[in-house]
Amino acid sequence: MAAVQILDKIYWVGAVDWNVRYFHGPTYSIRKGTTYNSYLIVDEKVALVDTVFGPFTAELVENIKEVIPLEKIDYVVVNHIESDHSGAFPEIMKLAPQARVLCTQKAMEGLKKHFQGDWDFQVVKTKDTVSLGRRSLTFIEAPMLHWPDSMFTYVEEEALLLPNDAFGQHIATSYRFDDQADINQIMDEAGKYYANILWPFSRLVARKIEEITAMGLKIKMIAPSHGIIWRNDPMRIVNAYSRWAKGEACKKAVIVYDTMWESTGKMANAILQGLVSQGVEARLFKVSVSDTSEIIGELLESKAIVVGSPTINNDMHPVMAPFLTDLVGLKPLNKIGMVFGSYGWKGGAVETVKGRLQEAGIQVVEQQPVAKWVPTKDELQECYHAGQWLASQI
């Protein structure tokens, strides 16, 4: 993709990765690809804000060259050192050796360690400002959103916020702006991104939004480092982040289960019917054929999670483990949980699943439908009633 002017003499010079399907190794699936957004601000001084993933270095260089020779770059701002944004950094610094690097203390330490080199660093803190001439860059440290080094860059004269990962979405698209794309699809991807990456840091997200509000920053455009740029309605994503950071959810439930000979499957369906009978929107995921990241994304705005497993070797089915491990790490906010399952001669699954949900900070209810061997009609009716009861708690 060629350079795109997003504001007067401010350009998107990033890259679109149409083929990537996983992020953070194989944990987070990103079926729609992603973009690595890098921005070039041309003023009396020239600043490049963030770079791209290493394999896309040549695209970044070509895009910058369309606008300005690389030796004209005065500042390289590194909002975040993760490889998808800093991979091209060493090459850019070779081509623009005169550039000063603006970043946090942690980012400086990280860049030196990642790339085993040293450059002309200027460490910045919240409210520090660097003038480019007509415009200026103001920095806002954002530690643990989502790494210790993270920060946002703000261009006051344009009311432009460059928050790196925050407010982003993993979606490869030929569009650059929210008013060009399918906004429902973009919001779904933004939610999935929040749930899979930012959920554990929700309290920090809420605090950062309060801090930015208190600073009185005017925001007309938010240009994150993944996905589309928010220019039509930037507060849409800020408000969504506020809701997600508070753990606000809808009248929805997610049922996640697996089954060996369909006993737990029948129970899952009966619970689903019970929820639905009370007007709760419910979605069923058989974990072995589902995408864990999609389930996590779906859980973001669901009040309840219901998890079922058959017992095998006195424990839950091993296929449940990766999903539950992910959940424990993400610590979803304000969720109600229910567990259920079938067993043969001895139980064990529901206790393990309950423990994992509690480790994830989920409030697990006492109701715990279980069935020996194949659930009877009465046992399925109990599952149905458990679904109805859970609906009353949502």
Kindly list the residues in this chain that would bind ligand FEO in the complex (CB under 6 A). 80, 82, 84-85, 146-147, 165, 225-226
From the list 85, 146, 170, 317, the catalytic residue is 146
Half-sphere exposure of 188 (CA within 13 A, CB side): 13
Cβ nearer to ligand FEO, comparing 85 with 317: 85
Q: Which residue is nearest to ligand FEO (CB)?
A: 82
From the list 43, 170, 194, 226, the catalytic residue is 226
Find the shortest distance in angstroms from Cβ 124 to ligand FEO. Answer: 19
Cβ nearer to ligand FEO, comparing 130 with 142: 142
Cβ nearer to ligand FEO, comparing 45 with 80: 80
Cβ nearer to ligand FEO, comparing 85 with 231: 85
Find the shortest distance in angstroms from Cβ 147 to ligand FEO. Answer: 6
Residue 226 backbone phi and psi in degrees, to 5: -135, 140
Chain mean position to CA 357: 21
Using the structure block, give the residue that is written with the tokens 């910058």.
64
End-to-end CA distance of the chain: 46
Residue 239 backbone phi and psi in degrees, to 5: -65, -40
Cβ nearer to ligand FEO, comparing 34 with 269: 34
Find the shortest distance in angstroms from Cβ 347 to ligand FEO. Answer: 41
For residue 175, what are its two tokens?
A: 């569009």
CA distance linking residue 126 with residue 212, whole number of Å: 11
CA distance linking residue 110 with residue 15, whole number of Å: 23
CA distance linking residue 208 with residue 230, whole number of Å: 18
In this structure, the number of other CB atoms found within 10 A of the CB of residue 217 comes to: 15
Active site residue 120: no
What DSSP letter does each residue of 103-126 carry, written as one string? Answer: E-HHHHHHHHHHHT----EEE--T
Find the shortest distance in angstroms from Cβ 126 to ligand FEO. Answer: 19
Hey, what amino acid is at 52? V
Active site residue 80: yes
Hey, what amino acid is at 162? L
Q: Which uninterrupted H or E stretch holds 162?
A: strand 160-162
CA distance linking residue 296 with residue 5, whole number of Å: 35
From the list 36, 154, 193, 241, the catalytic residue is 193
Cβ nearer to ligand FEO, comparing 45 with 226: 226
Active site residue 170: no
CA distance linking residue 130 with residue 44, whole number of Å: 12
Find the shortest distance in angstroms from Cβ 56 to ligand FEO. Answer: 13
Active site residue 315: no
Cβ nearer to ligand FEO, comparing 11 with 28: 28
Active site residue 146: yes
From the list 165, 189, 301, 379, the catalytic residue is 165
Using the structure block, give the residue that is written with the tokens 């261009």.
155
From the list 80, 85, 170, 317, the catalytic residue is 80
From the list 59, 84, 188, 258, the catalytic residue is 84
What DSSP letter does each residue of 259-312 carry, written as one string? Answer: -SSSHHHHHHHHHHHHHHHTT-EEEEEEGGGS-HHHHHHHHTTEEEEEEE--EE
Find the shortest distance in angstroms from Cβ 167 to ligand FEO. Answer: 12
Torsion of the alpha carbons at 130, 136, 137 and 138, rounded to the nearest 10: 90
Find the shortest distance in angstroms from Cβ 80 to ligand FEO. Answer: 5
Active site residue 82: yes
Active site residue 84: yes
Active site residues: 24, 80, 82, 84, 146, 165, 193, 226
